[in-house]
Chains A and B, each alone.
Chain A
Amino acid sequence: MKVRPSPEKNGGERNFSDPKMNQATAKNQLLKIKDLVLEFHTDRGIVQALDGVNLSVSKGEVLGLVGESGCGKTATARSVLGLIPCPPGRIVRGEIWLDEENLMTLPQEILRSRVRGNRITLVPQDTLGPLNPVHTVGTQMKDILKYKGRSRNGNSDRAGADHREILELLRAVHLPDPDRVLAKYPSELSGGQRQRILIAMAFLPRPDLIIADEPTTALDVTVQAQILRIFRNLVARDRCSVLFITHDMGVVASICDRVSVMYAGQIVETALVPKLFESPRHPYTVKLLESVPTPEKKEISQIPGTVPTLININKGCRFCERCPQRLEKCRDHKPGLTQVDEDHAVFCHLFG
């Protein structure tokens, strides 16, 4: 990934610059994304996919990243992993810190050997694509321990220990008869079973950060509930951090500690989960929560207008065209961060 060194890297004009807050929480933070701007150069113009994304995941925390399709959730995750194809992608500016290391300055070679699959792992949405169809599940899981994670520390009885660890994880993800599952090929398993395998694989190298990209979207609700419970238990066991990407507010409520809401490439609100549901502040969050159908609700409201295309988009708040409380400055001035409460930040002029 090529990063253009930006002259205003340390400039004070960044929105996310409350120094007091940063110092207090900096020690605890595992992942920190600062002012990330990502563009895609296409035939139709420059798509401004991410516009100044700031977020942080503390140690042992599950941060939800929620938003509608095309809002930049996956682009954010892929930027962290260093997997934005370049071209057409280009990270214009921004920093991604994992502990004390700025991932943006690391060469691909180091990212591949030391970060991806070791310190950061991914649970993908699609369950069939990521698994190799011509190898058994067992082979693929052993490969992870062979090349990644803790096994490289020179364990004498590696094969045996690896096998025990894999079996333990498969039991933790509630796969009955783990020995038989290991001998199977991915196509012989159901979607729910494959998702369990992929979760086990993500936890296998004992990573610091797991990025879960809509891991339950393709599953039925009863299986989704099982998968979420497994996820919670494993996170508690390993005390790792999770960036949990989803479009489902219900999933956020049941697994995340904190949540960031994205709209059209911008973070609009970040809060502790109970606070977001009790008192959403940003007009988009309010509208989004109102449009979610639940068995308790008899009526749902809808958001007027449509999601804007991200080519030649206005400089200010990207929700302004659809916002019922739009101010004059919203179109051209990007709202800064307003701390409405401890653990509750909103990017909106109404509160600035």
Chain B
Amino acid sequence: MRSSATSSDEVMASPLLEVRDLKRYFPVRSGFLHRITGWLRAVDGVSMEVNPGEVMGIVGESGCGKTTLGKTVQGIYRPTTGEIFLEGKPLSRLPAKELRKLRCSLQYVHQDPMASFDPWWPLARSLDEPLRAQTDLSRSERRERVARIVRAVGLDTEHLERYPHELSGGQLRRLTLARVLALNPKVLILDEPTASLDVSVQARILNLLRDLRSEFHLTYLFISHDLGIVRILCDRVAVMYLGKVVEIGPTEVVLRGPKHPYTQALLAAIPHLSAGVPRDENILEGEPPSPLFLPRGCRFSSRCPMFREGLCNASEPPLFPVGPGHEAACFRIEEPSRTGENMIRVEASGLGRTEKRETS
């Protein structure tokens, strides 16, 4: 949970990972001289704390900056501004040697397992490399450790003799986990670890991640676009939209009672499995605007069903506390008398016919 005052820091365990007002902008160049003509604000002021042993979910649609956030936290990208603390140490101010050592405990698992391995190397060599680079272990010690970890992720050492194209997507996924686990990390940043897997394989990877978490005492930063998966694995969840966190809180609370209109729309867009559920959802119109040309004020204002002129497009809403450990960035939540005005557009069966329905 977030500590609300500085005095409670002594009482609560200090966060393992802390991100403070992190920004990552990418320059956009154009023209003959390749001058910088604009900035793509992929991550634009994200703050969060992740406690030891916690699984923090980061959800959002493609292009919302979740992968950039993960990569910036790990150090693959340099932050434009902002600071990342691991065990209280600011990463940007550490000397290179110490930073390199500390990075071992902060590992990133890439989204595409096929692209994470060298296709010309047998997998044993790929798994050995990080140990060779980061530790002083002898060859046999390294081999032993890799074998132990490979068995822990449910594979056989026999798989290590093969090349990446000889294994299935699920097996490669396990090996990407094994490779980073060999370094005894504390925090894993998992970027869509079940993307492009079939549901039955996905279920096995999710259960494996849960087992590994308790076995190796891991903390996860779990990036996903699927709120269903988040529910299964994450303690807390941060919902991102166009580079900003719009809602953050305990998973149960956010999924049961989403406060931000975007979270509500995201949940409504998930098709329900149970039969008899009405087939017309509260469907968002349009697609997210380009992060190069952000709307004025609240970033969600161009698609928001609760948009109000003069309020939402005047300034950007900060995160307001809406419950214990639960925050949402929306001006309309703060208003006491919402009922009656709080309409969400619902498209009914007829083409273009709209109907108004109250949200609760």
> In the complex, which of the residues A225, A277, A278, A291 has the most CB atoms of chain B within 10 Å of its own CB atom?
A225
For A119, list chain B residues within 8 Å (CB).
none
Give residues of chain B (215-262) contacting chain A, Cβ–Cβ below 8 Å.
225-229, 231-232, 255
| A247–B199 touching, CB < 8 Å | yes
For A190, list chain B residues within 8 Å (CB).
287
Q: Does A295 contact B (CB under 8 A)?
A: yes
CB distance from B319 to the nearest CB of A (A): 22
Q: How many chain A residues touch the partner (CB < 8 A)?
A: 51
Q: In whole angstroms, how far apart are the Cα atoms of A193 and B168 in the complex? A: 32
| A292–B273 touching, CB < 8 Å | yes
| B272–A254 touching, CB < 8 Å | yes
Give residues of chain A (140-179) contacting chain B, Cβ–Cβ below 8 Å.
171-172, 174, 176
Partner pick for B226 among A293, A300, A303, CB 8 A cutoff: A293
CB distance from B213 to the nearest CB of A (A): 15
For A289, list chain B residues within 8 Å (CB).
273
| A229–B273 touching, CB < 8 Å | no
> Beta-carbon contacts of B175-204 to A below 8 Å, as 1s and 0s?
000000000000000000000001110111
| B275–A274 touching, CB < 8 Å | yes
Residue of B at shortest CB range from A274?
B275
Residue of A at shortest CB range from B280?
A229
| A253–B271 touching, CB < 8 Å | yes
Q: In whole angstroms, how far apart are the Cα atoms of A277 and B274 in the complex? A: 6
Q: Does A45 contact B (CB under 8 A)?
A: no
For B228, list chain A residues within 8 Å (CB).
292-295, 297
Q: In whole angstroms, how far apart are the Cα atoms of A57 and B206 in the complex? A: 36
> Beta-carbon contacts of A227-245 to B below 8 Å, as 1s and 0s?
0110011001100000000
| B269–A291 touching, CB < 8 Å | no
For B225, list chain A residues within 8 Å (CB).
220-221
CB distance from B60 to the nearest CB of A (A): 9
Q: Does B328 contact A (CB under 8 A)?
A: no
Q: In whole angstroms, how far apart are the Cα atoms of A228 and B269 in the complex? A: 10
| B276–A295 touching, CB < 8 Å | no
Give residues of chain B (257-295) contacting chain A, Cβ–Cβ below 8 Å.
265-277, 279-281, 283-287
Q: In whole angstroms, how far apart are the Cα atoms of A237 and B207 in the complex? A: 44
Q: Does A136 contact B (CB under 8 A)?
A: no
For A297, list chain B residues within 8 Å (CB).
228, 231-232
Q: In whole angstroms, how far apart are the Cα atoms of A232 and B281 in the complex? A: 13
| A254–B255 touching, CB < 8 Å | no
| B274–A253 touching, CB < 8 Å | yes
Q: In whole angstroms, how far apart are the Cα atoms of A247 and B199 in the complex? A: 8
> Beta-carbon contacts of A283-312 to B below 8 Å, as 1s and 0s?
000011101111111111111001000000
| A253–B231 touching, CB < 8 Å | no
For B226, list chain A residues within 8 Å (CB).
293
Partner pick for A298 among B227, B232, B270, B279, CB 8 A cutoff: B232
Q: In whole angstroms, how far apart are the Cα atoms of A233 and B279 in the complex? A: 12
Residue of A at shortest CB range from B197?
A69
Partner pick for A222 among B61, B231, B255, B273, CB 8 A cutoff: B61
For A68, list chain B residues within 8 Å (CB).
198-200
Q: In whole angstroms, how far apart are the Cα atoms of A223 and B271 in the complex? A: 12
For A226, list chain B residues within 8 Å (CB).
283-285
Give residues of chain A (157-214) contacting chain B, Cβ–Cβ below 8 Å.
171-172, 174, 176, 190, 192-193
Residue of B at shortest CB range from A70?
B198
| A192–B287 touching, CB < 8 Å | yes
Interface SS majority for chain B: loop
| A236–B349 touching, CB < 8 Å | yes
Q: In whole angstroms, how far apart are the Cα atoms of A113 and B335 in the complex? A: 62
Q: Does B354 contact A (CB under 8 A)?
A: no
Q: In whole angstroms, how far apart are the Cα atoms of A172 and B347 in the complex? A: 13
CB distance from B94 to the nearest CB of A (A): 37
| B275–A253 touching, CB < 8 Å | yes
CB distance from B247 to the nearest CB of A (A): 14
A250-B272, A297-B231 given as contacts; is B266 within 8 A of A292 (CB)?
Answer: no
Q: Does A137 contact B (CB under 8 A)?
A: no
A68-B198, A300-B203, A300-B206 given as contacts; is B275 within 8 A of A295 (CB)?
Answer: no
| A221–B266 touching, CB < 8 Å | yes
Residue of B at shortest CB range from A302?
B203
| B269–A278 touching, CB < 8 Å | no
For B359, list chain A residues within 8 Å (CB).
none
Q: Does B76 contact A (CB under 8 A)?
A: no
| B272–A294 touching, CB < 8 Å | yes
For A303, list chain B residues within 8 Å (CB).
200, 203
| A302–B275 touching, CB < 8 Å | no
A232-B279, A293-B226 given as contacts; is B61 within 8 A of A221 (CB)?
Answer: yes
CB distance from A308 to the nearest CB of B (A): 13
Q: Does A248 contact B (CB under 8 A)?
A: yes
For B347, list chain A residues within 8 Å (CB).
229
- Identify the A interface with B (CB < 8 A): 68-69, 171-172, 174, 176, 190, 192-193, 220-226, 228-229, 232-233, 236-237, 247-251, 253-254, 273-275, 277-278, 287-289, 291-303, 306
- Identify the B interface with A (CB < 8 A): 61-62, 168, 198-200, 202-204, 206-207, 225-229, 231-232, 255, 265-277, 279-281, 283-287, 347, 349-352
- Sample 5 A-B pairs with CB under 8 A, ordered by A number: A220-B62, A225-B269, A229-B280, A293-B203, A297-B231
Identify the 3 closest CB pairs spanning chains A and B, nearest first. Answer: A274-B275, A250-B271, A293-B228
20 extra interface residue pairs, beta carbon distance < 8 Å, beyond A220-B225, A225-B284, A301-B203: A171-B352, A221-B61, A222-B283, A222-B287, A225-B269, A226-B285, A229-B347, A250-B271, A253-B275, A273-B275, A288-B200, A292-B228, A292-B273, A293-B228, A297-B231, A297-B232, A298-B232, A300-B207, A302-B207, A303-B203
